Amino acid sequence: MLEQLVGDSKALDRALAGEELSYNDGLELMNYDNLHLLGAVADNTRKKLVGDTVSFAASYYMNYTNVCAASCQMCAFYRKGDEDDAYTLTPQEIEQRVGIAKQMGATEVHIVGGFHPKLPLEYYEDMMKTIKKSHPTLNIKALTAAEIFFLSKLTKNSTKEILSRLKDAGLDSMPGGGAELFHPDIRNKIVRGKCSGQEWINVIEEAHNMGIKSNVTMLYGHIEKPEHIIDHLIKIRDLQKKTNGLLTLIPLKFSLDNTELEQNNLVTHECSSVYDLKIIALSRLMLAGVLNNISVYWVALGKKLAQVALSNGGNDLVGTAFSEEIYRAAGKHTASSVDDLATMVKEIGRNPAQRNTHFDILNKF
């Protein structure tokens, strides 16, 4: 049935046949105007690859500092060290918050922050050792590849050395932040003072080779062009073919409020829901068979659109968040319980399941 309908698109035909999509196929689909067909093929591919389960983790999000040596045009979170609302948590404050999260049922802690120019490597090691000592079973998902790269420059250690010391201190896995879009033409317009796309990939590859798995993100809906999205997805696919260390792709919708891109009128509105759904569908189709988890970040989309995104290629919900300061800084509220997410999934006729960081199912509802 779908085969007959997609006859006008070679790329959709190829996707339905389970063939790997090329760069040109990706571009064709970014410019394809029948969202319903695109979504149907992505949904069909999702069903074949991962079935009807929609997973989510009980994750506690914590930003240990908003002080940042970088000043990215797309970020509303960073502060310079001397600003009134700049903060840095002590390892003891972090431990206290993590204790509460554990009591609430979190199985992982997601810890990221700004590029703090004064915190020594020992701060991060202490943080991880303190958490591990009190909560040995909690997965510490901490520090993006961009933070590792920054720490390497700051402390004059190799990125491998930093990763190895943090792994010894308790680092279990890494979040996917800081990836933004890898293509230099767009990256250089939205970030300032952050590693390049290739440097991000190199650090993550090193982490994967040490047995530290990670997520990967894709920041969309600002000033990118279709080719930047497809370039990013193909680089993710190539990386995953090499290391198999990626757990999921999390497309992140750009949130406008309080960013330099907004203040300079470079972006005047957030992208449309149609574009959101296209991005989820393209993520599913470009990565099919290589990276089979596509997470929907409901915090950015809202719960109703997140449900539609799950019917356009998504199979996982991210943002069980008890706290997430970066999105809040850019105008989005965050917080939900595991039961709320299960209800959201049941409402669309799919099967909710709580997972751990590594996508093993812990609990069905």
How near is the Cβ of 250 to ligand V47 at its closest, in Å?
5
In the list 16, 38, 76, 310, the residue contacting ligand V47 (rule: CB under 6 A) is 76
What distance in Å separates the CA atoms of residue 42 and residue 27, rounded to the nearest whole number? 16
The helix or strand, by DSSP H or E, that contains position 110, with its residue range, turns out to be strand 108-112
Q: Taking CB under 6 A as the rule, does residue 306 contact ligand V47?
A: no
Residue 173's CB: how many other CB atoms inside 10 A? 20
- Chain centroid to Cα 137, Å, comes to 23
Q: Which is nearer to ligand V47, 41 or 94 (CB)?
A: 94
Q: Determine how β-strand 361-364 pairs with β-strand 351-355.
A: antiparallel
In the list 15, 30, 74, 249, the residue contacting ligand V47 (rule: CB under 6 A) is 74
The helix or strand, by DSSP H or E, that contains position 174, with its residue range, turns out to be strand 173-174
What distance in Å separates the CA atoms of residue 188 and residue 199, rounded to the nearest whole number? 13
Q: What amino acid is encoded at 111 in this protein?
A: I
Are 181 and 190 in contact, with CB atoms under 8 Å apart?
yes
Q: Taking CB under 6 A as the rule, does residue 55 contact ligand V47?
A: no
Are 189 and 223 in contact, with CB atoms under 8 Å apart?
yes
How near is the Cβ of 14 to ligand V47 at its closest, in Å?
30
In the list 39, 91, 114, 178, the residue contacting ligand V47 (rule: CB under 6 A) is 178
SS3 content of the chain, % helix, strand, coil (to 5): 45, 15, 40
How near is the Cβ of 297 to ligand V47 at its closest, in Å?
6
Q: Which is nearer to ligand V47, 8 or 257 (CB)?
A: 257
CA torsion 200-205-211-214 (nearest 10°) is 40
Q: Which is nearer to ligand V47, 156 or 269 (CB)?
A: 269
Are 64 and 111 in contact, with CB atoms under 8 Å apart?
yes
Radius of gyration over every alpha carbon of the chain, rounded to an integer in angstroms: 20
How near is the Cβ of 169 to ligand V47 at its closest, in Å?
20
- Chain centroid to Cα 296, Å, comes to 9
How near is the Cβ of 222 to ligand V47 at its closest, in Å?
8
In the list 32, 124, 200, 254, the residue contacting ligand V47 (rule: CB under 6 A) is 254
How near is the Cβ of 259 to ligand V47 at its closest, in Å?
5
How near is the Cβ of 177 to ligand V47 at its closest, in Å?
3
Q: Taking CB under 6 A as the rule, does residue 107 contact ligand V47?
A: no
Which range in 36-44, 79-87, 165-173, 215-223 contacts ligand V47 by CB under 6 A?
215-223
Q: Which is nearer to ligand V47, 217 or 315 (CB)?
A: 217
Are 17 and 37 in contact, with CB atoms under 8 Å apart?
no
The helix or strand, by DSSP H or E, that contains position 301, with its residue range, turns out to be helix 298-301
In the list 255, 292, 307, 320, the residue contacting ligand V47 (rule: CB under 6 A) is 255
Q: Taking CB under 6 A as the rule, does residue 166 contact ligand V47?
A: no
Which range in 1-9, 149-157, 175-183, 336-344 contacts ligand V47 by CB under 6 A?
175-183
Computed from CA positions of residues 191, 192, 196, 200, in that sequence, does the dihedral angle turn out positive or negative? negative
Total binding residues toward ligand V47, as defined by CB under 6 A? 21
Q: Taking CB under 6 A as the rule, does residue 75 contact ligand V47?
A: yes
Q: Taking CB under 6 A as the rule, does residue 326 contact ligand V47?
A: yes
Q: Give contact residues for ligand V47 (rule: CB under 6 A).
A: 74-76, 110, 175-178, 180, 215, 217, 219, 250, 252, 254-255, 259, 297, 318, 326, 330
